Structure 1
């Protein structure tokens, strides 16, 4: 009721010090909790790694990296590979005016090439 009449509230001189101590205790508890869980996770990971080694299982990241490498290797000679994977100089030369028919004719065996040339 005194607050409503405009009286000033008495402040505890040690309240600020107590609040700082409380905040420090909370920070310390949080650090201990994080350290505890980090230790538990490290132990779990060592158990997981032991199981992976025992049964020859690879980590998810390793599987993804191998899959990515396989995709890149598979697209090496593919016609549908990404544009950035095309080596420089392939398909960019416009001075080569040879048609596809001429290219195919060079690789045909002699009798077949003669048969097409007669027409």
Structure 2
């Protein structure tokens, strides 16, 4: 209530000019570069700790999986292809790499041809002749 009375009487808070974009310019902090470097280093360290934490969790999970495989006599699938090995290794993992292009999306020419063939099957004979020309 006190603020409203002061604002109505014209007093206002002392930093209204700063909030409106005018007034005094802020001086740059001489230690800003150091602080930014420290902040970036802290972020980097936190990211490494997070990765270590999830690697540890994944190792524990793999140990449990192996225990279940041993208990029930299940064989672990062997993969010959390296990319498939990476995919199988990260299957169910929290740190699974994302696929950039889904399977089957790479060959656009083949897809267009197959779509045209499919459409051509359903058109009547005269229309097919016109489209082939």
TM-score (norm 2): 0.40
Structure whose CA Rg is larger: 1
Greater RCO (Cα-Cα under 8 Å, separation 6 or more): 2
- What TM-score comes out, normalization by structure 1 length? 0.44
